[in-house]
A and B are shown apart, each in its own frame.
Chain A
Amino acid sequence: EPEVTQTPSHQVTQMGQEVILRCVPISNHLYFYWYRQILGQKVEFLVSFYNNEISEKSEIFDDQFSVERPDGSNFTLKIRSTKLEDSAMYFCASSDGGTANTGELFFGEGSRLTVL
């Protein structure tokens, strides 16, 4: 069964460092997303991406964040200068969005980011 894969599973970084989280969405999906979950809190939407541009973003997704689809398979989230409060589990997701769109998102297993 096709799945969304994320790397790394866990990253520890120093405050102020740049971090790149990587995702390989399901191959025929058109929409890509990043969500985050701070420990003990709810899952929060960060950004959605379609046709090589951001289609929607939340207030959380400020100038410190960027997303990119550098090639035909990867989808990355970059945090330019990490802060302590960026420590969270980051989930990548993808959805079909085509004629068979059902709104269903398929999530990866997450990348845990710890900022020290």
Chain B
Amino acid sequence: AQSVTQPDIHITVSEGASLELRCNYSYGATPYLFWYVQSPGQGLQLLLKYFSGDTLVQGIKGFEAEFKRSQSSFNLRKPSVHWSDAAEYFCAVGAVQAGTALIFGKGTTLSVSS
């Protein structure tokens, strides 16, 4: 079955500290992997994506993610968190073919403490 697991429902990080949000997936075909961020009352904004090539991808706002095929993981990282990073983060997997569904994880809520 196709699925995305984000094991951490809620994470609190101190401002300036590093962050890692976990994502594991199960997908039958070659996966396209995405991280989206959702601020309260807002839509989904793409942080970064992986299609092929270099397994370490850079995104907006200083985020990066590493694709590890052997572990079926696509963890999101940021070396130094800012208070404005507080939001909900969704990992998603999809197929190469356009028009197919993106499968989302349940999300991880990030809180940033001062």
A and B from one complex: yes
Residues of A near any B CB (own CB < 8 A): 30-31, 33, 35, 41-45, 48, 50, 55-56, 58, 91, 95-97, 101-110
A107 touches B98 (CB 8 A): no
- Which 8 A-B residue pairs are closest in the complex by CB-CB distance? A97-B98, A45-B101, A109-B43, A107-B44, A43-B104, A42-B106, A55-B99, A103-B32
Residues of B near any A CB (own CB < 8 A): 32, 34, 36, 42-46, 49, 51, 90, 92, 94-96, 98-107
Q: How many A-B pairs with Cβ below 8 Å?
A: 65
Residue of B nearest to A30 (CB): B98
A42 touches B51 (CB 8 A): no
A42 touches B98 (CB 8 A): no
Pull 16 A–B residue pairs with CB atoms less than 8 Å apart, ordered by A. A31-B98, A31-B99, A35-B102, A42-B104, A42-B106, A45-B101, A58-B101, A91-B43, A91-B44, A101-B98, A102-B49, A103-B94, A103-B96, A104-B46, A108-B43, A110-B43
Tell which of A41, A43, A97 touches B44, judged by Cβ atoms closer than 8 Å.
Answer: A43
B99 touches A42 (CB 8 A): no
Q: A91-B43, A107-B43, A109-B43 are contacts. A56–B98 as well, Cβ < 8 Å? A: no
Chain B residues with Cβ below 8 Å from A55 are 99
Chain B residues with Cβ below 8 Å from A42 are 90, 104-107
- Closest CB in chain B relative to A74 CB, distance in Å: 18
Q: A42-B90, A103-B95, A104-B49 are contacts. A109–B42 as well, Cβ < 8 Å? A: yes
The complex places the Cα of A34 from the Cα of B99 at a distance, in Å, of: 11
- Closest CB in chain B relative to A90 CB, distance in Å: 11
Chain A residues with Cβ below 8 Å from B94 are 103
Tell which of B34, B43, B103 touches A104, judged by Cβ atoms closer than 8 Å.
Answer: B34
Chain B residues with Cβ below 8 Å from A110 are 42-43
Tell which of B45, B49, B90, B99 touches A48, judged by Cβ atoms closer than 8 Å.
Answer: B99
